[in-house]
Structure 1
Amino acid sequence: MNDLASTAAPGRTLCPPAVRAALRRAVPGLAAFAAVRLLGLVVLMAWSAAAGKDWHTLLTARWDSLWYTRVAEHGYGYTLHLANGAVHSDLAFFPLLPWLERGLSALTPLTAADAGMAVAWLSSLAAAWALYATGERLHGPRAGVALAALWAALPVGVVQSMAYSESLFTALAAWGCYAVLTGRWVWAGALASLAGLTRPVGAAVVAAVWITAAVTVANERAGGVRWRALLGGRHRRMLLGAALAPLGWCGYVLWVGARQGSPTAYLDVQGGWGNGFDGGLAFARFIGHQLAGPALPAGLGLLAGVALVIWLYVRGVRKGQPLPLAVYGGTVLFLALTAKGYFGSKPRLMMPAFPLLLPLAAGLARWRPARSWLVIALVAAGSAVYGAFWLNGSGPP
C-alpha cells in the first residue's frame, strides 16, 4: 500500500483559478458521465412509456424518496406499523438530503420531490468530478475519465438519477477522500461530517480520515518526529480535521437517542426496518437458499458478483491503492455485505464504493481508446436497459 506521504501535499485551500483549471481538466470525465446517465434516462423514458408508467414518478415518488420527501415537508415523527409487526420510522433516514430538499423547494418553484431529484443530479456530477480527479491523480487523465464513466454505468447506476441520497453521499465521500489524499485535512473532516449526516455508512469516511491520520502520525513518530512537532503546522490541521469528521454521524445518532430516550435508539429504529449488523449470516443464508432451490442460476450469479467485488477490492489493495481509499472502500463493502435486511438493496448500498472500480479504470486507460470506449459503451447500454427494467419492476427499496 502506498505511503500516504507519497500522495499527500501540505494542505492548502484551493484558489478559484486552481478550481477552474481542475474543472477544465475534468470536462471529458463529466461529459462521459453525463452521456452514460443521459442514455439511461432516455431508455427509462421509452421503457416506462411502453409500460404505461411515468418515469418522473419512478425517479421522485417511490420507495425511499417518499420518506425523504415526507421528512422535508413535515419533519421527523412519522411511523408506519405493518401487519407483520415491523415498525418503519422515518428516523432511519439521515437528514442532509431532506434539509436540502426543503431549502431548495423554498427558494425555487420545485416541489420537495423534484428538489430531491435536482440535488441528486447535481450531486452525481460533483461525484463524477471527484472520481475524475482521483483517477487522474493516481493513474492519469484517461483513468479519471474511465472511472467517472464506469461509476455512471454501474448496473444500479439509475439510482444516481433518483431522489435518493446515494449521489449526495458519494460526492461528499469522494471529495472527502480526495481531500485526505491531497493533505487538506480540515476539508476532509468537514466533508466527512457532512457525509455522516447523509447516510449511516458515513462512518466509512470517518474511518478513512481517522486511520490515515493515525498511520501518518505513527510513520512520522517512527521517523523521529517529536510529539511537540506533531502538534503544530499541518499536523494541527490534521487533528482538527479528525475532530470534525465524526460530528455529523455522531450528532444525528445522539439526537435520535435523546429524542427517543434511549442510547440505542437508532439501532432500534434500524431493527424495526429489519436492518442491522449480523456479520453477514443472513446474507449467507439467503445465498444458500438460492443455491439450494430452483433459483440456482440467480444464486450462482449472486455468488459470482460477491466474489467479483471482493476480488476488485483485493486487487486494488495489492496494486498499492492509497490508504484512505482502501479504508473507505473496504468499510463500505464490509458494511454492505455484513448487514441484514432487504438483500436486493445490496448493489445499491455498494454503489458509493467507487475505489473498487479503480483497477478497472486503470486497466481501461492502458487500452487503445477505441477498444476502451467500446467496452464502456456496451456496459453503459447494459446498465441503461437493466435500470429501466429494474425501476419498472421491483425497483430499489
Structure 2
Amino acid sequence: MATTTVSLRPPVRTRAATPAAVIALGVFAAVRGAGLLVLCAAAWWAGRSPLRVLGGSWDSVWYVWIAGHGYGRTQMWPAGGSVQSDLAFFPLYPLLLRAVSQVLPGGLAVAGLAVAWAAAALAAVGVYRVGEHLLGARAGVLLVGLWAALPHGVVLTLAYTEALLTACAAWALYALLRGRWLWAAALAVLAGLTRPTGLAVAAAVSAMALHAVLGRRSRAPEVWVAGLAAPAGWAAYLLAVGVRLGDPLGGYFTVQRRWGSRFDFGEGALRSAELVLTGGHVPLAAAVTVGVLALAGLLAALLVLDRAPLPLLAYTGVLLLITFGGAGFFESKPRFLLPAFPLLLPVAAVMARARPRTAVVVTGVLAGLSCGYGVYLLLVARVPL
C-alpha cells in the first residue's frame, strides 16, 4: 500500500454530506443487522435463547447485575486464584441500563441491548463524520462499512460497552477536528466513565490542548478547561474505587490484578502469540487474535506515515498501548481494539479510489466473514469476549 497516495487532509465539502451520513448509517445497519439475524438463527438452531446470547454473554452478565443491584458482587475461582470483583466495570453503561429499563419493557437485558444498539448507531454516524471530514463522503461511508465488518463486530450488537465508548470517542475526535473544545472534553469525561480504555479519549483531548498551548501559544480558556477536565471521568472512578477499598491511588489496579489483568509491557501478549505461532493445534480465536494484532500494528504505522491529525494519533496510540501492553484474556484484545476505528482510515482512503463495485464486493466479503465469525465466537468457541 503506497502511503503517498493517501491524504488525510480535509476535502472540499459538498451538499452530499448529509445524505451520505444516512447512507453510512444504512451500511452499518445492513452489516450488523445481517450479523444479528445470522446469530439469532444460529442460537435458535442450537437450542439457545437469542436474547440470552445477546444480552447475557460474559461481561453482559456483570453489567446487568450492577444495573439491577449496584456494586458489591465478587466471584472467586480458587483453581486459578482469580478474584473477580464488579468494581472492575465502569459505571456509565449500568446507569444507562437502569434508566432505560424504567421506561422500556423487557427488563435489564433488553435495556442493555437498546442502549448498546443506540450507541452503535451514534458511533456509526460519528465514525462517518470523522472519515468524511478527513477523506470525503465516500471514504467516510467505506470507513463505517469496514468498522462494522471487523472480525469482532458482533460485539457491537451485544450488551457490551464498546459501542458506547466508540460513540463518545468518534464524536469527541470530530469535535476536536472542528475546534469545539468543550464538547470534546465533555465526551471525554463520559468516555472515561465507560471503560478503562476511555482514557484514550482524554489523551486525545489533552494532547491537542497541550499542542494548542505550547505550539500555537493559545490562551483561550476553553482550551485549558478541556485539557484539564478531559481525564476527570476516568480519574474520578478510579479514585472512588480506591477510596472504597481503602487505597485511593492503587485500589482499582488491585481489583484488575485480581482479575488477572495488569500492565506487563506486552510480555504476556508476546508469549501468547509465540504459542500460537509455534504450537500445534491452535484455536481459531487465538489465531485470529494474532492476525488482528499484527494488522493493527501495520495500520498504525500507515496512520503515522500518512500524518494523521494529532488527536487521532494520540487516541489510537493509547488504545494500542493498553491493548498490547496489558496482560489478561488474550482473545479479548481484538474487542479492545474495536473503538480504534482511525486505524481503518488508510484502508478506507485506498478503497475510495477503487471502483465502486470493488469496494462493495470487498465490504460484502468482510461482512460475511464477520457474521460467521461472530457465530463462532459466541456459540462454538465460548472464549471470553
TM-score scaled to structure 2, two decimals? 0.92
Q: Within the alignment, does 1:33 sit opposite 2:28 as a pair?
A: yes
Q: Give 3-state SS (helix, strand or coil) of 2:260's partner.
A: coil
Confirm or deny that 1:126 pairs with 2:111: no
In the alignment, what sits opposite 1:224?
none
Q: How does 1:98-247 map to 2 (within 5 A)?
A: 98-221=94-217, 230-231=218-219, 235-247=220-232
TM-superposed CA distance for 1:82, in Å, is 1.5
Which residue number corresponds to residue 13 of structure 2? none
Following superposition, the deviation at residue 244 of structure 1 comes to 2.0
Matches within 5 A, 1:263-342: 263-295=249-281, 302-342=289-329
Compared CA separation, residues 302 and 156, structure 1 to 2 (3 A): closer
Secondary structure of 2:84's aligned partner: strand
Correspondence for 2:340: 353
The 3-state SS of whatever aligns with 1:178 is: helix
Q: Counterparts of 2:329 and 2:341 in 1: how far apart (Å)?
A: 22
Superimposed CA distance per residue, residues 257-291 of structure 1 (whole angstroms, 9 cap, x where no aligned partner): 11111121100000111001000001111122223
- 1: CA distance, partners of 2:291 / 2:233: 36
1:271 maps to a residue whose letter is: R
Q: Deviations over 1:348-375 (max 9, x none)?
A: 0111101001111111111111110011
Structure 1 residue 33, shift from structure 2 partner: 0.5
Task: Give the secondary-structure state (helix, strand or coil) at the position aligned to 1:134.
Answer: helix
Q: Contact between 2:207 and 2:227, CA under 8 Å: does it hold in 1?
A: no
- 8 A Cα contact 1:104 1:110, kept in partner: no
What's 1:10 paired with?
none
The structural deviation recorded for 1:185 is 0.3
Asked if 1:256 is matched to 2:256, the reply is: no
What secondary structure does 1:392 align onto?
helix
Check 1:161–1:247 CA distance in 2 against 1; reply closer, same or farther (3 A cut): same
Note the alpha carbon deviations across 1:68-93, whole angstroms, 9 max, x for none: 01100010011111122211000000
- Could you say which residue in structure 2 is the equivalent of 1:382? 369
Question: Residues of 1 paired with 2:141 and 2:20: CA distance?
Answer: 10
> Hey, what does 2:47 align to over in structure 1?
52
1:47–1:389 Cα contact (<8 Å) kept: no
CA distance in 2, matches of 1:285, 1:335: 16
Structure 1 gap segments, 5+ residues each: 8-20, 222-229
User: Deviation string for 1:143-177 (max 9, x for gaps)?
Assistant: 11001111110001000000000000110011111
Letter in 1 for 2:313: A
Evaluate the alpha carbon distance shift between residue 304 and residue 97 of structure 1 in structure 2; reply closer, same or farther with a 3 A threshold: closer
What is the number of residues matched between the two proteins? 370
Tell me, yes or no, if the aligned pair for 1:210 and 1:242 is still in contact at 8 Å.
Answer: yes
* TM-superposed deviation, 1:50: 2.2
Deviation of 1:316 after TM superposition, in Å, equals 1.2
> CA 1:73/1:22 → structure 2, altered by over 3 Å: closer, same or farther?
farther
Contact 1:193 1:244 in 2 (8 A): yes
Q: Distance in 1 between matches of 2:258 and 2:287?
A: 30
Deviation at 1:292, TM superposition (A): 3.0
- Aligned partner of 2:6 in structure 1 is none
Shift of the alpha carbon at 1:301?
Answer: 5.8
Select which of 348, 351, 357 maps to 1:370. 357
Change (3 A) 1:50 1:72: same
Question: 8 Å contact 1:212–1:323 — kept in the other structure?
Answer: yes
1:143–1:365 contact (8 Å) kept in structure 2? yes
Return the TM-score normalized by structure 1.
Answer: 0.89
Which deviations, in whole Å up to 9, do the C-alpha atoms of 1:314-345 show, x marking residues without a partner?
A: 10111121110111011111111110001010
- CA shift in 2, pair 1:281/1:163, >3 Å: same
Shift of 1:218: 2.0
Q: Deviations over 1:30-82 (max 9, x none)?
A: 01010001110111122222222222211101210010011000100111111
* Alpha-carbon distance in 2 for matches of 1:297, 1:194: 36
Amino acid paired to 2:207:
I
Supply the AA of the counterpart residue of 1:219.
Answer: G
RMSD over equivalenced CA pairs, Å: 1.9
Question: Which amino acid in structure 1 is aligned with residue 199 of structure 2?
Answer: A
